[in-house]
Structure formats: C-alpha cells, structure tokens
Amino acid sequence: MPQYDKKSLKHLADQFKISSGLDSVQHIELLDQIKQYPQQEAVQIINYFASIETNPDILYYLLKRIEAYKDPSSIDVLSDLLLSKSGNAHIVENMSQYVKIRSLAAKVLSSFKDNKAVLPLLYILNSKDEDYKLRLNCAEALGKLGNNYAVSPLIDIVSDKTEQSIYLKESATKALGMIGDMRAVEPLVAILESNESFISKFSFLKERILETLRKIGSKDDRTFKAIKKSLLDNSPFVRIDAIEALSELDDDRVIPLIEDRLFDEDEEVAKSAVVALYNILGEEYLFEMRKRPDIPLCCIEEAEAILDDNEEEYNED
C-alpha cells in the first residue's frame, strides 16, 4: 500500500519546487530534507520526482539518491528515463546533459542486479540511432548485471561488420568477459583469426578480446592457436595480453612460447614474459634464468626485483 496518493505527491512536488527553475544548488539543499523521511516514503517521493523533473542537475541528484536506496520500485522509473530519447522541452535544449542522465540511469539499473533491467538496456544497445556513448554504457551495465540473456546481443555487436563504433565493440567485449559465458569464445576467436581491417587497425579491441578469453577460461585448441598468433602482433600491448592469457591455460605448450618473448624487442613485453614464467614455474626458474648469458638485462633485472620482493616478504613474516 503506497504511503502517498497522486494528489499528495503532486503537493510534495510543489513543496519541493520540482521543475520550478530554482537554482540547482538551492534546490538540492531543499531536496536533502527528504533524507529525514522514513526510507519507504523517501523512495516513493524520489521516484515520483525523478519521473517529472526537467533540470538535468536535479535529475542527476535524484538518480544518485535512487542508487543509494536501491529499492526495486525504482526500476520502472529508471527504465523510463533510459528509454526516453528526447525527454521534454527543457531537456532537449541540454541534449548532451540528458545523454549523461540516461547513461547514469543505465549504470544505476545495473546496480540492482534485477532481470527486469535487461530488456531496456538491450533495447538501447541495439538502437543504432542512439548516442554511441549511451550504447556502450548499456553494454557495460549488461556486463555488470551478468545475465546470460544478454550474451547473444553482445556477441552480435562485437561481430557486426556494419557497426561503426569500435568503442562500443570494446565495451560489448568487456561485458562478455564479465558475464563469462562460453558461447562468446567462438565468435571472439573468429575475430582474432580474421584479417578484417578494423581488427588490424584497432589493437585495443584485440587486447580486450584477449582479456575476455582469459576471464572466460577457454582452453580449446582453436583458442590456443589464436592467442599464440597474437604473440606476434605488431602492438606490444596485444603481445602482453597474449602472454597473460597463455600463462593461465595450464598447458605445457605455453612455456617455450612465452620464453621466446624474453627476447622481445619491447622491454615491457619481455618483462611480462618473466612475470608469466615466474607465475607458472616459480622462483626456481628465475634462479636458473639469471645464470643464462643470453638473457636480456631487462629480464635479469625483472627477475631480481621479483626475488628481492619475495625475500623481503619472507623476512617480514
């Protein structure tokens, strides 16, 4: 049973100057008084105010209050805000601010961990005429929700050759890693294997794919070969991610592959190989590695730094 009927809520909206054009700082100070209300009443008031407010600054404040309360009754209000593309006459004049409000609505929706939030987020994700920043925020929100229903639409975004936003593809890939569903492995590996210009041009998407494959934990032979191929990528960041992904496969074949990267032209890649080999084989490998005359100085120094840190931790214990 609601604490307030529609007439009472309208009276409160007048009392708290909703959509009145009051200076934002003064308005927020006034709205802070709602914190003194019992939580169930405060939630109903905040939800109503968020459904009719026109000032983006005040809407932002109200959404943060909704996030703090995390009451399931707010999901419909958040969904309506997210799906409202043009808002009203006042907000249309501040469209960039309204995109930020809708993005915040997506973020807050993801914090509820409620399946009711999935469909409005998917709707925006799949709407190519929406602002790309809003769409990538919806992708990240879907990843945080962790609902497997979102896996196929996210895969479609990553695989869609007509999708122009590489940043959206990156966010969708990251979301797939957060969900951790094995269905994502094959299409992600296919992208790594492809010679499409977009994957060659944007190395950060390869990095994100490798990170996602590592999180999902796929160990099939096709995945292994795709990651192995990435060890020779032009981008040192991709090579580092490939090393990290291989190091978690629990496969003896990775040892010589990672050892080859000790001689990488990029010192950060070489040092990453040292760390990976230490994580797989332990201190004994580093002791033996230091004796080899062919090992680059940067790798020797990295090994010594790891061993020194371990010794300090041992002495402290």
Query: What is the percentage of the chain residues whose pLDDT exceeds 90?
Result: 71
Report the residue count for the chain. 317
Per-residue tokens: 307: 């061993």
User: CB neighbours of 95 closer than 8 A, spacing ≥ 6?
Assistant: none
Range of 184-188, 196-200, 273-277 with top mean pLDDT: 273-277
* pLDDT value of position 317: 58
* pLDDT value of position 287: 94
In CATH terms, 1-112 corresponds, of 1.10.287, 1.25.40, 3.30.70, 1.10.3470, to 1.25.40
Segment 126-142 shows an average pLDDT of 92
Give residue for tokens 């070489």: 270
Residue limits of CATH 1.25.40 in the chain: 1-112
Q: How confident is the model at residue 207 (pLDDT cuts 50, 70, 90)?
A: very high
CB 235 within 8 A of CB 192: no
Averaged pLDDT of the chain: 90
Q: How confident is the model at residue 92 (pLDDT cuts 50, 70, 90)?
A: very low
Task: Indicate if the pLDDT at residue 95 is higher than 90.
Answer: no
Q: Rounded to 5 degrees, what are φ and ψ at 38? A: -55, 145
Cα-Cα end-to-end distance for the chain: 59
What's the CATH fold of domain 113-232? Leucine-rich Repeat Variant (1.25.10)
Choose the weakest-confidence range: 2-16, 82-96, 105-119, 232-246: 82-96
* pLDDT value of position 89: 44
Report which of 173, 189, 273 is spatially closest to residue 223, judged by C-alpha positions. Answer: 189
Q: Quick one: how many helices (H) and strands (E) in the chain?
A: 20, 0
Q: Is 141 exposed, middle or buried (0-12, 13-18, 19+ CB in 10 A)?
A: buried
Q: CB neighbours (10 Å) of residue 90?
A: 14
d(CA 103, CA 133): 8
Per-residue tokens: 112: 């509820």
Task: Indicate if the pLDDT at residue 292 is higher than 60.
Answer: yes
Residue limits of CATH 1.25.10.10 in the chain: 113-232
pLDDT tens per residue across span 154-165: 999 998 888 878
d(CA 212, CA 218): 10
Q: How confident is the model at residue 91 (pLDDT cuts 50, 70, 90)?
A: low
Sign of the Cα pseudo-torsion (244, 245, 251, 254, in order): negative
Task: Indicate if the pLDDT at residue 25 is higher than 80.
Answer: yes
